[in-house]
Amino acid sequence: MKTILHKAESRGQFDYGWLNTKHTFSFARYYDPDRIGFGALRVLNDDIVQPGEGFGRHPHDNMEIISIPIHGKLLHRDSMGHEQILKTGEVQVMSAGSGLFHEEYNGSKNNPVNFLQLWIIPNELNIKPTYAQKYFDSEQALNTWQKLVSPVKDSALTIQQDATISRVFITEGQEIEYHLHSELNGCYLFMIDGAVKLNNNILNPRDGLGVYDTPSFKLKAISDAHLLNIEIPMKTKK
C-alpha cells in the first residue's frame, strides 16, 4: 500500500470576501506541480459562499462535475434548462460532455453555504451533457459505506468514468474496511469532520489521503467522523 497525505492547511487558500475557497489540487490562482490531481480526480474544492453571492454563468466541457453541500444550499441553473436548489444531504452530478453553461449561487439570503466540488476527467469525450441530483439518507451511511456516485446505473448517481464515490458516518472506536473495485484504481479520502486513522496516517477535518497499490484498506475512527471516499482510476485515457 502506498499513501500520500495532504493536510488541510497545505491546500491553496483564497478569501475574496464573497467566497472563501480552498483547493486540494492546483486550480485557478493556486498551482503546485506536485498537486495536479490524483489519478482521474482533477479538482477538489472546498468553498464557502456568502448569502446572495455565487458564480455567474460560465462554460464547461469534457468534465464530470460533482457538487456536495456540507452546510446550506446551492441554486443551480444551466443551459440545458435546469434550475434546481441543491440542499444538504443531496448530491449533484453534471456531465459537461460536448459543452454547457451553468451558474451556481448560494440558495439562501441569510446563511453561507459550504460545499465540495469535484472535477473528474471522463473516460469518453464529447458526450451529450447530462444533469442529475439525488437525496441520500445519512442514516444509511452509519458505520457502512453509502454509494453516492457510480459508473453503472444503480441506486447511486452515474458518471462517465470508472469511479465510485462513497461516504460514511463512523462512530468513535469503530473500524470499517473498503475493497477497491479494480487494481487499476486508487482512493482519495477526504475528511469532512472528525478524525480517523489508516495505518500510521491520522486524518483530521479537511485532510486528504491518497491510497493506492492495494486491494483494500481499513480505517478506525478516533472520534465520530464523516468521510468521503473517491475511488478513481489512477491513469486516464489519452
What region, left, alpha or beta, does residue 206 occupy, with left being phi > 0 and alpha being psi -120 to 50 degrees? left
Looking at residue 153, its pLDDT comes to: 84
In a domain, 182, yes or no: yes
The C-alpha cell at 177 is: 474496511
In a domain, 7, yes or no: yes
In a domain, 109, yes or no: yes
Placement of cell 485532510 in the chain: 207
How many domains does the chain divide into? 1
The C-alpha cell at 94 is: 453534471
Question: Is the sign of the CA dihedral 185, 37, 54, 49 positive or negative?
Answer: positive
In a domain, 103, yes or no: yes
CA angle 132, 134, 65 (to 5 degrees): 45
In a domain, 238, yes or no: no
Residue span of the structural domain in which 207 resides? 2-233
In a domain, 75, yes or no: yes
CATH number of domain containing 207: 2.60.120.10
Residue pLDDT tens, the chain, 238 long? 999 999 999 999 999 999 999 999 999 999 999 999 999 999 999 999 999 999 999 999 999 999 999 999 999 999 999 999 999 999 999 999 999 999 999 999 999 999 999 999 999 999 999 999 999 999 999 999 999 999 988 889 999 999 999 999 999 999 999 999 999 999 999 999 999 999 999 999 999 999 999 999 999 999 999 999 999 999 987 5
Looking at residue 154, its pLDDT comes to: 82
Looking at residue 238, its pLDDT comes to: 52
In a domain, 161, yes or no: yes
In a domain, 119, yes or no: yes
If we measure between CA atoms, which residue out of 186, 132, 121 comes closest to residue 156?
A: 132
